[in-house]
Structure 1
Amino acid sequence: MWVRTASERDLAEIRSLLVSTWHDTYDRIYGVDKVTEITDSWHSIAALRPRLTQPNSEFVVADAGERICAVAFASSKDGRVIDLHQLYVLPDAQGKGAGGLLMHEVIDSFPEASRVRLEVEETNAQAIEFYQNKGFVEVGRTANCGQDESGLPALILERSLD
């Protein structure tokens, strides 16, 4: 498995990965219809494409040769704080190191950063445990995870890089 920058040719596979992981993780929390609505909007090819050229960002995948098994997207407005918007690993690839590889790549891509911040669904115990094992701590909460007015509650986690 290796980490590489996402490309235009990866977008359909990235979308499929996001749809699969979202349904696996969130159907029991939000219901199938709500997850389908979110993935159709947030994870459409049209929504993913601008990430390929967004300034001050990193859009990477973990490539296992025969498939992409994980994806991450992060950005930084000021270079000091990295906002990790997405880090998703296919359910059958979890626990095999892809998430950690992507986390390291994202952090290495912003050498001036002193913190990484992210939002995580407050009932997603597996993701919370993953991030806590990577040194993240809870620093707040939001009622609108991912997008303004999403209505999805989440914890805000942060990790110091100093």
Structure 2
Amino acid sequence: MSFQTAIRPAESMDIADIRRVARAAWHAVYDNVLGKETVNSLLNEGYAPPLLEQMIELEEVGLFVSTADDDVVAYMSCGMTDATGFGDLDLYVHPDYWGEGIGTELLHRGEQHLHELSVRKIRDEVLAENEVGNAFYRSHFEKVGERTTEVDGQQHPVNVYERRL
């Protein structure tokens, strides 16, 4: 790495940057799988500024950004998904920074937050066609299953991963 990275809790001023990173990462990964229109629709729904603002304000949701030389280049949200001790996280790195270790740094920060919430195990799902996401999860998680999910009326295979904290 020829740049200085830092991870910090997201703030309202980061919303535009989180949306920028999400657009770049989602289009790079999902355009050929889901189509650009579907990706745009999912981004508009899942990254609406009021939703991100709410996530920033909720203590039980950890929303963090990673910066490289003070520019937001990645983000992660994490939280408990059920009372039996399972949590999940969503982590995206701008494609220009793939392979730099930023995702791993964010994962470790997310684990700290989830541990504070008494999460014992992270369970995440990744579309099987998401080669970048699956490569990351294979190197940090154990694949425990497969299923299908529907996105915009189409069935897609999903890999299920777990990581014990």
Distance 1:56 1:151, change over 3 A: farther
SS of residue paired to 1:158: strand
Q: Structure 1: which 5+ runs fail to align?
A: none
Higher strand share: 2
- The residue correspondences of 1:147-162 to structure 2 (distance < 5 A) are 153=156, 154-161=158-165
* CA distance in 2: counterparts of 1:152 and 1:37, whole angstroms: 17
Instruction: Give the alignment's TM-score, normalised by structure 2.
Output: 0.86
Q: Gaps spanning 5+ residues in structure 2: where?
A: none
User: Given the alignment, which residue of 23, 27, 33 partners 1:29?
Assistant: 33
Q: 2:148 matched to 1:133?
A: no
1: distance between equivalents of 2:102 and 2:26?
17
Do structure 1's residue 109 and structure 2's residue 113 form an aligned pair? yes
| Number of the residue aligned with 2:13 | 9
> RMSD of the TM alignment (CA)?
2.0
Distance 1:57 1:152 in 2: 29
Corresponding residue of 2:85 = 80
Please give the TM-score of this superposition, normalised by the length of structure 1: 0.87
Identity, % of aligned pairs? 25
Q: State the aligned residue count.
A: 157
Q: Distance in 1 between matches of 2:74 and 2:155?
A: 23
1:137 alignment partner AA:
K
